[in-house]
Amino acid sequence: MRSFKQIVTDFGWPRIIIFLFLVLLFLMPPFAKVTGIERLAGVASISIPASFSDVFNRFGQNAVFVLALVPMIQSGCGLNFGLSLGILSGLLGATLSMQFNLHGAAGFFGGLVLASPFAVLFGGAYGMLLNKVKGEEMTIAMYVGFASVFFMSIMWLLLPYTHPDMVWGFAGKGLRTTISVENYWIHILNNFLAIPGGDVTLSPMGVKTYEFLFPTGELLFVALTAFLMWLFMRTKTGTAMTAVGSNPDYARAGGISVDKMRLVSVIISTFLGAAGILVYEQSFGFIQLYTAPLAMPFSAIAAILIGGASVNKASMVNVLIGTFLFQGLLTMAPSVINSTINSDLSEVVRIIVSQGIIIYALTRKTKVTK
Amino acid sequence: MGQETPLLSLQNISKDFYGTVVLQDVSFDVKPGEIIGLVGENGAGKTTLMRILFGMPVIRETGGFKGKICIDGQEVSFTSPFDALDAGIGMSHQEFSLIPGFTTTENIVLNRESMKNSPLNDVFGDRMSILDRMDMRKRAEGSIVKLGVKLDPDMLVSEMPVGHKQFTEIAREINREKTRLLVLDEPTAVLTETEAEVLIRALRQLAAQGISIIFISHRLHEIIEVADRVVVLRDGVIVKDTPTEGVTVRDIASWMVGRHVATERVDEAHRYFEEIILSVKHLWVDQPGETVRDVSFQVHKGEIFGIGGLAGQGKLGIPNGIMGLFPGGGEVLLHGKPAPLNDPRTALQMGMAFVSEDRRGVGLLLDETLEWNIAFTAMQIQNKYLKNFGIFKIRDESAMKKLTEEYMDILHIKCTGPKQQAKELSGGNQQKICLAKAFAIRPDVLFVSEPTRGIDIGAKKLVLDALHKYNRDFGMTIVMVSSELEELRAICDRIAIVDEGRIAGTLPPTAELAEFGLLMAGERSAKSEEALSA
C-alpha cells in the first residue's frame, strides 16, 4: 500500500496547490457581486455551468498543442518554443481547404491533409537546424518561431488566394487577419455527439445556445490523439526516441541514429501543431493569421510544465492534467478577478498568469541525472 | 652528505576513501638537493600522496589522513595549497595551468608581479599599483637562467611548443624565492626525447642549487637517469625505497607491477584455439586522451583476449573505435567479413557488443528502469521484446520483465525489482546491468572495457566470474581491456600491452611480471606474435 504522503509526493505539490486554487475560483463566483448597472455595462455575472462548459471547451481546444510538445521533450530537444511552425502549417492547410471550398468534415480533415506536407517540410528543416545546435535548442527554437511567424505575415499578403470569404474586400487580394469559418467547419468536432444542458437562450435568428455544452467530439479527438501518442511512445521508434532524450550516448552506443530520432520527433511535433490549430479554429470559429500564432507555443508550454513534465520527460498524464489545470485557471482567474475588482483586465491577467506559470515551471524543472 | 635533517619527511601516511584503503603507512624522507623518483601503476596512490602533501581540500572533505608531514623536522599541517606554497613546495601538474594569452614573463610571475606606485594608490590603495614590467622581466629571466634552458620571455604561451610550456611551469614554481621542494607530475609525458633530455639536465642543475625534487614518471629510464633515489608505490604501500645506483629498468618494472593477492588465476590447462574470429589491421582511433595510432591484432574464436597498458596510452580507444563510438580508420574483419567503422549499428548487427568504461555516461540510461537498460539494445538491433500488432510493434513489457529478472538472478544484481531506476543502484550492480545489456544480444565477440573500475572487491569477483562463465559455457569470445594487470592475468588467454597508441607486445598470462612492466613503460619494442605462438 502506498501511503498518502507518497501519493502526494508523486502528484507533486505544485499541482495540488494549483488544483486547490482552481477549486477556490469555482467557489468564488456566488460571492462576487455584480450590480445591475455593471450588468448593463457589460460585466457579466459568472454562471457555474457556463464556466464548466468553457473549461472543457478550452481544454479540448488546447490539448493537442500540449500533446505536440511531448515527442520533442522525449527526444531531448527540449520544449518546442518553435511550435509556431506547426501552427503556420495548420493555417496554410486551413486556408487552402477554404480556398478549395471544402465544407464540413471534408473541410476540417481536408485542411489536415493539406497541412501535412507543409508540416513535414517545415518540421524537417527545423529539425535539421536543431540538430546543429544541440544544447541550445530552446533559444534557437524561439527565434525560429518568431522569424517564421513574421515571414508568413508577408506571405499571407502575397500568396495568390482568391476566395472572397478570405481576402480583403477592397483589394481583392491578401488574406484578412481574421477569417470566419462559420460557413465551413465551425464546431465540426465540438458538436459531434455534444451533450447540452442548463438554460437555453434563443437568438433572434432562431439559433439555440445552451448554457452548458459538453464538446464530446472535440474531447474524443483529443483522447484519440493522446492514445496514438501513448501507443507511439511504446513502439520501437518511440522507445529509441525516449532513450535518445534520456542519454544520447547510450542510444548511439545502442546503434540508434540520434539525429534521425530527433528529426522524427520534430516532424511529429510540427504535424501535431498543425492539427492543434485546426482543432482550435473549429472550436473558436475563426482562422487568425498574421501575428496571432506568436504567443501560442507559450501557453502550451506553460500547461505541460504545470502538468509536471520536465524539460526531458513528459507523459500523457502530464499533458492532460496540465492542460486542464492551466486552461481552467486561465478561464476562471480573469473572469473572477474582473468581477471582483469591477473592471476588464482579462487579457492582462491572462498574460500575467500564463507567463508567471512558465517562469515558475522553468525554475522548478527536474534535473536529469548525468 | 652527512646526517642532516631531511627537508621533507613523510611519516606513516595512511588514507582511505570511504573504507577503500589507498595509502598505508607510507614513509620516506627527502633531503635537500635530492631528486626522488616516485613510480607506481595507475591507482597506486601517487596522486593521493601528492594531494595530501599539498593540503588539497578534497583530502579533508573525505575524512583527512593519518600520519605526519614534517618540514625541516617541524610537523606541519596544510589546510590549503597556499600553505604548501608558503612552506616552499611547488608543483607542476600533468595538465598545464598556464594562461595561453599571456607571455612567458607574465605567466612566471603571475600574482607575484612587481609593482610600481601610481598616483591612484593614494585614493584607492594598493590594488591600483602599476606593473613594473622591467623588473618582472628581470625576475623571469632569472628563473629561466636558474633552470638553464632557453626560453623567450616575451613569447605568448599559446604560441609555444609543449616543451616550452613545461619549462615555463617549472620556471614559475622556482620563481618563488622560498621554493625548496618541487613536485613534478609526469613532466616528460608530453615532451619529445630531446626536450626530455634538456629537462633532465635542468633538473640536475636545480638539484645542484639545493632544490629537492619529487619526480613522478612512467618513463623508467628517466627515473634512473635523474633520480638519486627511487620510491616504488604499489597499492598504497611503499614496496621499495632504494638508491638508484645499480638499479635497472627491469627491476623497477617488476617492483611496480608486483604480485597482488586479490585475484588468483584459476589455473587450467593451456587452451588452444584454431579459428580466427576477429582480425584488426592498422586501426587508428581518434578518442581524446586515448588515441590509437596503429594497432593490429587477431582474436581467436572462444578466446579471452586481454588488452592492458597504462592510462592514456590508447587501450580504451581500441574497443571504442571498433564499435564506432569514436572516429577511426583501418580494417576490422569479423568472421572474415569487413566490419565498417564509425557505424555502431552495423557493428552490433554483425554480432559484436561493447560494455563501455564510461558506465554512467555511455553504459546506462540512468533515469530509466532496469528493464529498459537491459532490453534496449536487443530490442533496437534484433527486434526482440516487441509485440507484433500487424502494422506496428509495441514493447513487450512482460518479456522485458522476465528478461530482467533472469539476469538479476544470474548476475546477482541487488535491486528492489525490474522497475527500479538504474541511477539508484551501486556501481557494481550498475556494471552488472551493463554486462546484462551486452549478454542480452548474445554477441559473438564481446568487448568489455575496464569492467571492474570503481567497484568493490566482491563485485569485481562476480563480474570476472560472469565473464569467465559466459566464455566457457557459451563460447563467447571476449576482448577485455583493463588497467589492472592482475585481473587480465587472472582470466585472459593472451594479453596485449598498448603503449603510445601501438601494441608493444603480446604475452601469455603466465609471462613474468617484469616483462609486462617493461612493455608498459615502453622500454622494449614489440615482440612478434609468431615468436610467442612458436
| CA angle in degrees (0–180, nearest 5) for A128-A129-A133 | 115
> How far apart (Å, rounded) are the C-alpha atoms in residues A72 and A311?
9
Stretch (H or E) spanning A265: helix A258-284
Query: Are A249 and B362 within 8 A, CB to CB?
Result: yes
In a domain, A252, yes or no: yes
pLDDT at A238: 92
How close is the nearest chain A Cα to the Cα of B355, in Å? 9
Asked if A132 and A122 count as a contact pair (C-beta separation under 8 A), the reply is no
| Interface check B376 vs A, CB under 8 A | yes
B109-121 exposure pattern, b = at least 16 Cβ within 10 A, e = fewer: beeebbeeeeeee
Asked if A337 and A364 count as a contact pair (C-beta separation under 8 A), the reply is no
Residue A326 pLDDT greater than 70, yes or no? yes
Q: Which of B345, B367, B392 sits opposite A368 (nearest CB)?
A: B367
Helix/strand/coil (H, E, C) string of B428-491?
Answer: HHHHHHHHHHHHHCCCCEEEEECCCCCCCHHHHHHHHHHHHHHHHHHCCEEEEECCCHHHHHHH
| Interface check A254 vs B, CB under 8 A | yes
In a domain, A262, yes or no: yes
| Interface check A247 vs B, CB under 8 A | yes
Q: Do domains B1-88+180-258 and B276-533 have the same CATH topology?
A: yes
Position with higher pLDDT, A27 vs B350: B350
Query: Are B344 and A234 within 8 A, CB to CB?
Result: no
Per-residue pLDDT of B148-201, as tens digits, reads 788 888 888 888 877 788 888 888 888 887 788 889 888 877 777 777 888 888
Position with higher pLDDT, B421 vs A199: B421
A246 contacts in chain B (CB < 8 Å): 365-368
Query: Are B344 and A235 within 8 A, CB to CB?
Result: no
Locate the domains of chain B by residue range.
1-88+180-258, 97-179, 276-533
Q: Which of A234, A255, A313 sits opposite B345 (nearest CB)?
A: A255
pLDDT at A127: 94
Give the residue from chain B lying closest to A312, CA to CA. Answer: B367
Asked if B493 and B271 count as a contact pair (C-beta separation under 8 A), the reply is yes
Asked if B328 and B341 count as a contact pair (C-beta separation under 8 A), the reply is yes
Q: A369 falls in which pLDDT band (50, 70, 90)?
A: very low
Q: All 3 cell numbers of residue B443? A: 554477441
Q: All 3 cell numbers of residue B449? A: 572495457
Scan residues 136-195 of A and list those with Cβ closer than 8 Å to B: none
Which residues form the domain of A141? 41-363
pLDDT at B171: 87
Query: Are A252 and B344 within 8 A, CB to CB?
Result: yes
Q: How far is CA A238 from CA A116, A231, A244, A254, A311, in A?
A: 20, 8, 10, 15, 17
Asked if A313 and B367 count as a contact pair (C-beta separation under 8 A), the reply is yes
How close is the nearest chain A Cα to the Cα of B283, in Å? 19
Position with higher pLDDT, B474 vs B457: B474
- What is the mean predicted confidence (pLDDT) over B217-229? 85
Q: What are phi and psi of A184, to 5 degrees?
A: -115, -80
Q: Which of B361, B366, B379 sits opposite A239 (nearest CB)?
A: B379
Domain count, chain A: 1
Per-residue pLDDT of B108-132, as tens digits, reads 888 778 887 777 777 777 777 788 8
Query: Are B367 and A369 within 8 A, CB to CB?
Result: yes
Q: A263 falls in which pLDDT band (50, 70, 90)?
A: very high
Query: Are B376 and A243 within 8 A, CB to CB?
Result: yes
pLDDT at B97: 81
How close is the nearest chain B Cα to the Cα of A146, in Å? 33
pLDDT at B127: 73
Which CATH superfamily groups domain B276-533? P-loop containing nucleotide triphosphate hydrolases (3.40.50.300)
How close is the nearest chain A Cα to the Cα of B96, in Å? 27
Q: A353 falls in which pLDDT band (50, 70, 90)?
A: confident
Q: B220 falls in which pLDDT band (50, 70, 90)?
A: confident
Beta bridge pairs of residue B216 = B38, B185
Position with higher pLDDT, A342 vs B188: B188
> How far apart (Å, rounded) are the C-alpha atoms in residues B29 and B88?
16
pLDDT at B524: 61
A313 contacts in chain B (CB < 8 Å): 367
Supply the ipTM of this predicted assembly.
0.79
Handedness of CA B353, B355, B361, B367 (dihedral sign): positive
Is residue B170 helix, strand or coil? helix
Within a 10 A sphere around the Cβ of B79, how many other Cβ atoms?
10
Give the residue from chain A lying closest to B381, CA to CA. Answer: A255
| Residue among B287, B326, B367 with most chain A CBs within 10 A, to mutate | B367
With a pLDDT cut of 70, the percent of chain B lying above it is 93
In a domain, A4, yes or no: no
Query: What are the DSSP calls for B283-294, one per residue?
Result: EEE--TTS-EEE
With a pLDDT cut of 70, the percent of chain A lying above it is 87
Asked if A273 and A293 count as a contact pair (C-beta separation under 8 A), the reply is no
Position with higher pLDDT, A282 vs A36: A282
| Interface check B424 vs A, CB under 8 A | no
pLDDT at A196: 80
Residue B384 pLDDT greater than 80, yes or no? yes
In a domain, A310, yes or no: yes
- What is the mean predicted confidence (pLDDT) over B283-292? 89
Is residue A288 helix, strand or coil? strand
Q: B264 falls in which pLDDT band (50, 70, 90)?
A: low
Task: Single out the residue of A90, A88, A82 nearest to residue A130, CA to CA.
Answer: A82
| Residue among B373, B376, B379, B449 with most chain A CBs within 10 A, to mutate | B376
Out of B52-56, B108-112, B401-405, the most confident range is B401-405
Query: Are B344 and A370 within 8 A, CB to CB?
Result: no
Residue A222 pLDDT greater than 90, yes or no? yes
Strands B304-308 and B477-481: parallel
In a domain, A157, yes or no: yes
Q: A44 falls in which pLDDT band (50, 70, 90)?
A: low
Query: Are B372 and A243 within 8 A, CB to CB?
Result: yes
Strands B237-243 and B229-234: antiparallel
Per-residue pLDDT of A81-124, as tens digits, reads 999 999 999 999 999 999 998 888 889 999 999 999 999 999 99
Burial of B296 (0-12, 13-18, 19+ CB in 10 A): middle
Q: Which strands make up the sheet holding B276-285, listed edge to edge?
A: B337-338, B328-334, B276-285, B292-300, B502-507, B494-499, B304-308, B477-481, B445-449, B352-355
| Interface check A3 vs B, CB under 8 A | no
Q: Name the residue type at position B146.
A: K
In a domain, A18, yes or no: no
> How far apart (Å, rounded) are the C-alpha atoms in residues A167 and A144?
27
Query: Are A369 and B423 within 8 A, CB to CB?
Result: yes
Burial of B496 (0-12, 13-18, 19+ CB in 10 A): buried
B323 contacts in chain A (CB < 8 Å): 253
Q: All 3 cell numbers of residue A77? A: 530537444
How close is the nearest chain B Cα to the Cα of A241, in Å? 11
| CA angle in degrees (0–180, nearest 5) for B83-B84-B86 | 65
> How far apart (Å, rounded) are the C-alpha atoms in residues A140 and B159?
35
How many angstroms separate the most distant Cα atoms in chain A? 71
| CATH number of this structure's domain B1-88+180-258, picked from the four choices 3.40.50.300, 2.60.40.3140, 2.60.110.10, 3.20.20.70 | 3.40.50.300
The CATH number of the domain holding residue A328 is 1.10.3470
